[in-house]
């Protein structure tokens, strides 16, 4: 019996990437999972993976097609999950993107409608979901894990709005952790570095650009020499969500970036 047996976990942005791998891992570890996103076809693939990971139990996976930038959808994600599974133990706020669909970046010269969308998706939606989830998390002494980014404290020039949104949720994490500690609810962030997912595709970049970035940006700047896999992020999220293993961890930013954010260029004598 694993810790997550019988627990109910919501993973937003579960149709691809980090969210999909996270939902699959929770399902494998015995949780009932509610998976959400806008793309029904991709979510169906995640549903099948979760069902397989859960040993074929179809009744342990619930799909909610939803856009987290819409408040009626965020309310529905929480309500449907609790109606289906009777409780909520973990909310993983993972849905996010670097820009608004149709725009290639969130450079500070982009129209304010891009700012509004990026802030809504990456920050405001968390508040909407948390407000609905907290009454249920109080009952289970559950917890929240937010997927932030090293962009919250490193400057990515063409992603000003995105970096601002992630910085906002890092601070929300700290404040909420204090506010909710008396309720027995923990709140933590994971701050990934580069992870191979659909993230750049969603910004309109061709698939081939991922290989270029891996060689020219990721490898030279990451001490561990590569991007992470979504599965490597999922295990960190599952650790933070585990009320046994991480019971004394709250309000923290767990940076999972292969050392990217702490490294400096080598001295000339060390450069090879």
Contact 230, 196 (CB under 8 A): yes
Q: Residue 47 contacts by C-beta under 8 Å, 6 or more apart in sequence?
A: 35, 61, 63
Among 24, 26, 31, 69, binds ligand NDP (CB under 6 A): 69
Report yes or no: 98 and 106 within 8 Å, Cβ to Cβ: yes
Residue from 8, 15, 85, 105 that binds ligand NDP (CB under 6 A)?
A: 15
Query: Residue 18, interface with ligand NDP (CB under 6 A)?
Result: yes
Piece of 15-23, 133-141, 216-224, 258-266 that binds ligand NDP (CB under 6 A): 15-23
Q: Is 97 in the site for ligand NDP (CB under 6 A)?
A: yes
199 binds ligand NDP (CB under 6 A): yes
Minimum CB–partner distance for residue 243 and ligand NDP (Å): 23
Query: Is 3 part of the annotated catalytic residue set?
Result: no
Among 103, 117, 161, 162, which one carries the catalytic annotation? 162
Non-local (6+) Cβ contacts of 64 within 8 A are 34, 35, 36, 76, 77, 80, 81
Which value, in Å, is the radius of gyration of the alpha carbons in the chain?
Answer: 18
- Single residue of 91, 123, 124, 192 touching ligand NDP by CB under 6 A: 192
Among 197, 242, 243, 260, binds ligand NDP (CB under 6 A): 197
Using CB under 6 A as the binding rule, whether residue 42 contacts ligand NDP is answered as yes
First-to-last CA distance in the chain?
A: 50
Minimum distance, C-beta of residue 159 to ligand NDP, in the bound complex (Å): 10
One residue of 23, 163, 195, 222 binding ligand NDP per CB under 6 A: 195
Cα torsion at 215, 221, 226, 232 (round to 10°)? -150
Q: Which of 88, 133, 147, 169 binds ligand NDP (CB under 6 A)?
A: 147
Closest CB 148 distance from ligand NDP, rounded Å? 7
- Asked if 13 interacts with ligand NDP (CB under 6 A), we say yes
**Contact status: 194 vs ligand NDP (CB under 6 A):** yes
Span interacting with ligand NDP, options 75-83, 133-141, 195-203, 261-269, rule CB under 6 A: 195-203
Report the residue from 8, 9, 10, 16 that binds ligand NDP according to the rule CB under 6 A: 16
Sites of contact with ligand NDP (CB under 6 A):
13-19, 37-39, 42, 67-69, 94-97, 121, 147, 149, 192, 194-195, 197-199, 202
Show which residues are catalytic. 162
């Amino acid at each position: 019996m694993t810790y997550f047996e019988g627990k109910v976990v919501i993973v937003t942005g579960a149709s691809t990437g980090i969210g999909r791998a996270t939902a699959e891992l929770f399902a494998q570890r015995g949780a009932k999972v509610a998976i959400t996103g806008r793309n029904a076809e991709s979510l169906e693939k995640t549903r099948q993976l979760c069902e397989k990971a859960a040993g074929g139990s179809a009744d342990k996976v619930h799909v909610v097609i939803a856009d987290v930038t819409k408040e009626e959808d965020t309310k529905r994600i929480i309500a449907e999950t609790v109606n289906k599974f009777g409780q909520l133990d973990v909310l993983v706020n993972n849905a996010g993107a670097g820009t608004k669909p149709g725009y290639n970046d969130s450079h500070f010269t982009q129209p304010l409608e891009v700012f509004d969308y990026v802030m809504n998706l990456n920050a405001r939606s968390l508040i909407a979901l948390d407000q609905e989830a907290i009454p249920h998390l109080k009952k289970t002494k559950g917890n929240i894990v937010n997927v932030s980014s090293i962009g919250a404290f490193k400057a990515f020039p063409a992603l000003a709005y995105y970096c601002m949104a992630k910085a906002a949720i890092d601070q929300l994490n700290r404040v909420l952790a204090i506010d909710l500690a008396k309720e027995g609810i923990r709140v933590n962030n994971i701050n990934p570095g580069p992870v191979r997912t659909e993230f750049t595709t969603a910004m309109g970049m061709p698939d081939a650009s991922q290989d270029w970035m891996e060689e020219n940006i990721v490898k030279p700047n990451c001490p561990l020499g590569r991007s992470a896999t979504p599965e490597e992020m999922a295990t960190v999220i599952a650790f933070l969500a585990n009320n046994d293993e991480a019971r004394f961890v709250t309000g923290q930013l767990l940076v999972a970036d292969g050392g990217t954010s702490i490294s400096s260029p080598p001295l000339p004598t060390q450069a090879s």
